[in-house]
Amino acid sequence: MIEQIFFIIFAALAIISALGVISLRNPVHAALSLIVCFFQIACLFVLLRSPFLAVVQVFIYVGAVMVLFLFVVMILDIKKVSLGVLVTRRSKYIYFFLVGLAIELIVVLTGGFQKLILDTPGEEVKIEVIGRVLFTEFLFPFELVSILLLVAMVGAIIMIKDAEKEGAK
């Protein structure tokens, strides 16, 4: 019962802040709103008995990704950045599409898993177990992802360097 109350609180805050992300004009306000949303999602991970994911969410998303976003917004001189207006030309079709997709997803996903309510609450997953699975069963994807991170890092650096060189010319 108390879990459900907390779920409703976190979910409502997450949805409100997510709406803020797409409706606020100023990119800095949108980024701060997204940070609030990520914190709520971390709380939901705690409700799902996965504290490791909650910690990773806060560290990587809030600590790295959103700081990167704010940094870029700061670099890009916000006054020049067009404070994007909502598209009005096709928005009727867009809303139609969104409502249709939402109904379809909810019907399909909830229809299939209606009976999936376990009586016994799941156990909290220990970090050691995750580490063991990550380094045995998922070793190859793990290595692939590390190579991908390296490639992304090199690519980002090279792109910024080229931009600086052409800007100097």
Cβ 156 to other proteins, closest distance in Å? 4
CB of 145 to other proteins, least distance (A): 5
Secondary structure (H, E, C), the chain:
CHHHHHHHHHHHHHHHHHHHHHHCCCHHHHHHHHHHHHHHHHHHHHHCCCHHHHHHHHHHHHHHHHHHHHHHHHHCCCCCCCCCCCCCCCHHHHHHHHHHHHHHHHHHHHHHCCCCCCCCCCCCCCHHHHHHHHHHCCHHHHHHHHHHHHHHHHHHHHHHHHHHHHHHC
Q: For the CB of residue 169, give the shortest distance to other proteins in the complex, in Å.
A: 11
CB of 83 to other proteins, least distance (A): 7
